[in-house]
Copies of this chain bind each other. A is one copy, B any other.
Amino acid sequence: MPVLRPPKDSEPDEFEQIARLYRPLTQGSREALGLLDDVAVLSCRAGFDLVLTTDAMVAGVHFLAGEPLDLVARKLLRANLSDLAAKAAEPHGYLLTIAWPPDIGFEARTRFAAGLAEDQAEFGIHLLGGDTVSTAGPLTASVTLLGWTPGGSLVRRNGAKAGDIVVVSGTIGDAGLGLQVLKGRLEKLTQAERAKLVARHRLPMPRLALRNALRRYATAAADVSDGLLADAGHIADGSNLHVTLHLEHLPLSSGAAGWLRRQPDPATARLELATAGDDYEVVCTVPPPLLDDFVRAAKLQGTPVTVIGEVTEGAGLVASFDGRALPVVRRGWRHT
């Protein structure tokens, strides 16, 4: 890489950083070849398909500059894990690329790696390989996550049927409100409520526990990252059907409910929550005869789920509140 400056003497160079920060993250797996080769190598798992997803994050865009780097690392992993969760796939390992700005030194990088280690242990995954480079810009990191699904069984976005019920896990809108708290807003909420919302923003919980329920009962599923309307809309569009979401049933945490009570227009406020994104919940469709079984299976795995809408013939998505269709300017956040 000829245009790069030579390393500063005071900090471990690239190879030392690999040895000290990243090689420990491969332990217990031969697939990474100790990060000592050009590649990782993975034996196929008989009867399973490989599932792949990739997500990138940029400081100042996907997280506030100054966020603790262990949390940034964990959120990056969890955003990818959430994609696999929605597909009922079992996470296995990941490749990582990081562009480090010069003002993030070895100590901060160590904290980033500590976050990776913590979530590797929590989710039973390991580092397979990566590339670390320098940048004059903001910290930029991407993960390619690999997982397994029984051959041919992937839960797609495009499998919904007319008549299916739309179900969503957990609560919606907390992460968006948590971001507002971090920006110094929402001061009327209690400190405990604010802390919970911030935690949801910083450290989402991928719904991997839904795996068996999704695989057995769901016709389609997507993770809620862009916003509930956006991601339910993906199912509608992918399945060439129409989805109605009833926002009076939007599942809310106590913090979000507290915020909602202070808003002048409950319909607009619910739309805001349902388009905020970053929830990392799962929205899915289930045939009515299987709904009770799905809800029971989800609850058995500790995952609350809520009926939020239905699939019908037609196209597009409508969000309604108490029977009135709401004007949807946009379903979620997009970036160019």
How many angstroms between the C-alpha atoms of A8 and B58 in the bound complex? 20
CA distance A157 to B289 in the complex (A): 56
A-B contact pairs, 9 of them (CB 8 A): A1-B335, A2-B333, A17-B336, A33-B156, A38-B222, A43-B49, A55-B131, A58-B137, A61-B133
Cα–Cα distance between A176 and B3 once the two chains are bound (Å): 9
**In the complex, what's the smallest C-beta–C-beta distance from A100 to chain B, in angstroms?**
8
Quick one: closest B residue to A278, CB to CB? B2
Say if the beta carbon of A11 comes within 8 Å of chain B: yes
Is residue A205 contacting chain B, with contact meaning CB distance below 8 A? no
Q: Provided the pairs A3-B62, A333-B4 are in contact, do residues A49 and B44 lie with their beta carbons within 8 angstroms?
A: yes
**How far is A323 from B172 in the complex, measured between Cα atoms in Å?**
71
What per-residue 1/0 map shows which CB atoms of A50-73 lie under 8 Å from chain B? 111111111011101000000000
A97-B54, A133-B61 known; A36-B6 Cβ under 8 A: no
Q: Which of A1, A56, A129, A226 has the most CB of B within 10 A?
A: A1
A164: Cβ under 8 A from any B Cβ: no
Within the complex, what minimum Cβ distance (angstroms) separates A123 from chain B?
Answer: 16
Contact flag A61-B131 (CB < 8 Å), given A44-B50, A97-B142, A222-B38: no
Closest to A142 in B: B97
Residues of B within 8 A of A129 (CB): 52-54
Q: Is the CB–CB distance between B87 and A39 below 8 Å?
A: yes
- Copies per complex of this chain: 2
CB pair A36–B3 under 8 Å, yes or no, is no
The answer to whether A52 and B36 touch across the interface, beta carbons within 8 angstroms, is no
Q: How far is the CB of A39 from chain B (nearest CB, A)?
A: 5
A274 lies within 8 A of chain B by Cβ? no
Q: A137 — which chain B residues lie within 8 A by C-beta?
A: 58, 135-138, 140
Q: For the complex, is A40 an interface residue (Cβ under 8 Å from B)?
A: yes
In the complex, whether A7 has a CB less than 8 A from a CB of chain B is yes
Number of residues of chain A lying within 8 A (CB) of chain B: 90
Please give 12 more A-B residue pairs, beta carbons under 8 A apart, in addition to A38-B223, A62-B133.
A2-B276, A37-B156, A41-B49, A42-B51, A54-B95, A56-B97, A61-B134, A132-B335, A134-B336, A135-B138, A135-B140, A140-B140
A179 close to chain B: CB less than 8 A: yes
Q: Are A37 and B157 in contact (CB under 8 A)?
A: yes
In the complex, which residue of chain B has the Cβ closest to the Cβ of A61? B134
- As a 0/1 sequence over residues 276 to 300 of chain A, the CB contacts with chain B under 8 angstroms (1 = contact) are 1110000000000000000000000
Residue of B nearest to A182 (CB): B3
Smallest Cβ-Cβ distance to A17: which chain B residue: B336
Closest to A89 in B: B39
Q: Is A334 among interface residues, defined by CB-CB distance under 8 A?
A: yes
